[in-house]
Homo-oligomer: A and B are copies of this chain.
Amino acid sequence: MREHGGNLDLAVQRFGGRARDWIDLSTGINRQPYPVGEVESHFWSALPSRTEIESLNEAARQAYATNAPVLAMGGAQAAIQLLPRLASGSRAHILAPTYNEYAAVLSAAGWDVVEVPGLDALAGADLAVVVNPNNPDGRRHDRDDLLTLLPRVGRLVIDESFADAVPELSLAAEAGRPSLLVLRSFGKFYGLAGLRLGFALGGEGDIAALSAMAGPWPVSGAAIAVGRRALLDHDWAKATATRLERDCERLDAEVKSQGWRLLGGTLLFRLYETEDAQAAQELLAGARIWSRIFEQRPGWLRLGLPGNETEWARLAAALSG
């Protein structure tokens, strides 16, 4: 399996304890999840109906402020898995460094993948990928710059997995254009990664093709019930964005004692430059706090945000210890 955040198996294997003993800050998943509440029995027992799936898609259109065709899928990852079959051609350019599944999935399907450092170098690709804001460094790209790129590539995929609460960055409203595909994650901002829900927003042809590949029941009943409720709960989203902003500042301040330098981030994670990320990871692991480091970047440490005061206190203790 490729390097990912959220791999507590590895933390347990290397440093001991049980998975539940750990505070997992190795991901960009909100640790104050949207309350799941009661899932009506019907959503467990019956096949999701067209009407229900469409009502989930409509909630996504509202939340993402778009009229574009939308397809609910088992996470943004489910869309990534299908990219090699959706796009025609063989040259993929990926703005890097970024989420490693794009290069891996496309390479495995025989695509010629080039990781490029800037937007201009994406031009000429059959398939170009930009994660905006980017994971792990939080780099942001203006909508206009991305739209300028559109005619210069065969198909442009914008992964907005971390764009909740920054609507000014989102190209969701433009996603009806035929060569633009926008991917949204549900589980990160709403803190429900186990639900497996995400959305593809795109031109009619692309969404129909993805739908045919994903099959008649692309998401679970629980994803419909909980996802719809959460996406329409604007008050929760607003309060959460405010809380996350505050917590980002708090985390940045908290780690200053270590001399770690903020390289960037989003509302859901921060990327720090350290002298030795492996040593930093081990320091935190001693307090059963799991973090993300990067084989190719020995100084980089990515941290998600603690979810409550107990977790903040454990982090503070680890850093002062």
Contact = CB atoms under 8 A, between A and B. Distances in A.
B6 A47 contact: yes
B44 A27 contact: no
Copies in the complex: 2
Interface string A78-101: 101100010000000000000001
A6 B46 contact: yes
Interface residues of A, number: 56
Given A47-B27, A49-B9, A49-B19, A195 B217 contact: no
Contacts of A277: none
Interface string A20-57: 10001001010101001000011111111111000000
Contacts of A74: 74, 196, 217-218, 220
Given A217-B75, A219-B196, A220-B222, A108 B212 contact: yes
Interface of A: 1-2, 4, 6-9, 19-20, 24, 27, 29, 31, 33, 36, 41-51, 74-75, 77-78, 80-81, 85, 101, 105, 108, 187, 191-196, 212-223, 226
